[in-house]
Amino acid sequence: MPTREVDLLTDMIRLYSPSGEEANIAEYLAGELEKNKFEVTTDKIGNVFGKRGSGSPNLLLCGHMDTVPGEIEVKLEGDKLYGRGAVDAKAPLASMIMGASKIQEPKGTIILACLVDEEGQGKGVKQLIEDEIQTDYAIFGEPSRTWNVTIGYKGSLHLQLKCNTPTGHSSAPWLSDNAIEKTFEIWKKIQEKHFREENSESRFYSITSCLTKISGGESSSMIPSECIAEIDMRTPPQLSPDSIFSRINEFIDELNEESKDTKIELKYLGSVPAYESDKRSI
């Protein structure tokens, strides 16, 4: 049987909100917060805030409204609700909204933050930090399960790898390097050889990488002369994204020195540093 909590989450999931398209869900949540007697504000980039109570302590409840792209049919089957964002992370945000709404007279101040662009470049949380909201405690709603407290998050490093080679007719592929094959070859070297020593302790303290986009080639009858790939790396606390980028860039420089006909470029697209709290702070 649907409840008020399930109805709220269902409404939120039905509002398709990939990063950069959060306006509709932001308007909806602002209305819901107002109905529940929150003092509602929206900042310059679209983050929605609800405030209840006054004085200390200040508790920040923070979640994000955006999702990754791609629509999934919204359906309730038994006690399971399916749809884009059901797990990451509209359910945690809905639970914080409902939980905070049920506290009639808070002993302190509750600040509920509904952020934008978490799945993108993190514009929402960056604005939150820039605005220096004062809080004594903070809970971030993420799909990190319910039986442990998450004290760390890996960082990210987004790179573009571009490879240019001479071209020729595809009937004679031995005459020239293939830009697509060369790009993949370089990617495998980056993945397998240059960070093996960091991958032994655990997944959290290791560098992981994923080839997320690749495009290239000019014609079905030509040896590809250009290929562009994007790489998403997840970085541990002990290594900064800048240090990892520098190491890969040095490797690319070495490859360019060795190669006469192939030109390789590495471009930095963005990064977020990793973070780990002291276990003693829990």
Q: Which residues are catalytic?
A: 66, 118
Crossing angle for the helix pair 91-101 and 4-14, to the nearest 10 degrees = 140
Task: For residue 131, give the H/E element and its range.
Answer: none
CA dist list (Å): 278 to 151, 161, 275: 8, 36, 10
CB 83 within 8 A of CB 74: yes
CB 156 within 8 A of CB 251: no
First CA to last CA across the chain, in angstroms? 37
**275-276 vs 152-153, strand pairing mode:** antiparallel
Q: How far is CA 242 from the centre of its chain?
A: 18
Task: For residue 110, give the H/E element and its range.
Answer: strand 109-115
